[in-house]
Amino acid sequence: MQKGIDKVVVLEVEDIHKKYRGQDILKGISFKVRKGETKVIIGPSGTGKSTLLRCINQLTIPDKGRIWLEGEEVIHTKKNINQFRQKMGMVFQDFNLFDHLTALGNVEIGLTRVKRMDKDEARQKAIEELKKVGLEEQANLYPAQLSGGQKQRVSIARALAMDPKVMLFDEPTSALDPELIGEVLEVIKNLAIQGMTMILVTHEMGFARSVANEIIFMEDGKILESGPPYQLFNNPKYERTKRFLKKITELYGE
C-alpha cells in the first residue's frame, strides 16, 4: 500500500509558458505536488508533456511562469541551478548512459563529480542503489551488455543516488520492447509505495491508474482536466478526455 501523502507542497508550478519556433508549446500550466504524491501526466503527442518536465528542472527555460522547490524559487534565482537539479531526478526516454562506464560507474559519477563524495563512499552508495532496482549482479557490465530495461533501471538508480526530493519520468518505457516494460514499471511502482514524490509522463494507462494519486490530462499545451484515477477513467468531465482514453486503451489494450 502506498504511503500517505503529506500536506507539505514540495513542488509548485505556476503559469508556465513556452514557445518554440514561434509556436506556443505550453500555455499557462499550473499545479502543486505534495510530498509522497505521484502525479501522472497523460495526453496526445505534441501537447507539451516532455517540454513541461524539462522546464521544471530547467533543462529548458520557460518564457514565463514560476517554479518553487521546497519553497525556494527555481526560475530567476541567483543560486547555482545544479543545486536544484540534484533535488530533481530526471529519467529520460533514451537512458542517457555513458557507454564507456559500467552500470556502477554510471551511478557513481554524479556522486563523485557533483556531490564530491569520497570514492569509496560513492561506490557503496551506488551499489545500494543498484540493489534497489535489482541490478547488483550487473554492476560491472557496460551498457552494451545490458537490455533496454536494465539500462533504464540503471538510469533510475543514477537519479536516486542523488537523493532527490522529486523524481521526473519522461515516458520511461517508450524505448523498450514490450516484454521489458514490466520490470521498469515495477521499480517505479515500488518507489511510489515507498513514498517517493514523482511526476510521470506515460502512455501506460493501466499503470497510471494503479500508481497515480492524481492524473493530469494535457491537450494543446494546457491542462484540460485533472483528478484521481477513478474519476478521470470512469467519469471524465470532457468529451475530449473520454475520446483520448478510449483510443489509447484500444491501442495499448489496457
Residue among 234, 231, 228 at smallest CA distance from 211: 228
Residue 44 clears pLDDT 50, i.e. is over it: yes
Indicate left, alpha or beta for 64 from its phi (over 0: left) and psi (-120 to 50: alpha): beta
Average pLDDT over residues 29-48: 96
Among the residue ranges 118-132, 212-226, 239-253, the one predicted with the least confidence is 239-253
Partnered with residue 8 across adjacent β-strands are none
Q: Which of 95, 93, 74 shows the shortest CA–CA distance to 13?
A: 74
- Yes or no: say if 188 and 169 are a contact pair by the CB < 8 Å rule: yes
pLDDT(254) > 70:
no
The rounded percent of the chain whose pLDDT value lies above 90 is 78
Q: Report residue 199's pLDDT band, with 50, 70 and 90 as the boundaries.
A: very high
Q: Show the cell assigned to 62.
A: 520557460
Say if residue 39 is exposed, middle or buried (CB neighbours under 10 Å; 0-12, 13-18, 19+): buried
Instruction: State how far the Cα of 137 lies from the Cα of 8, in Å rounded to an integer.
Output: 38
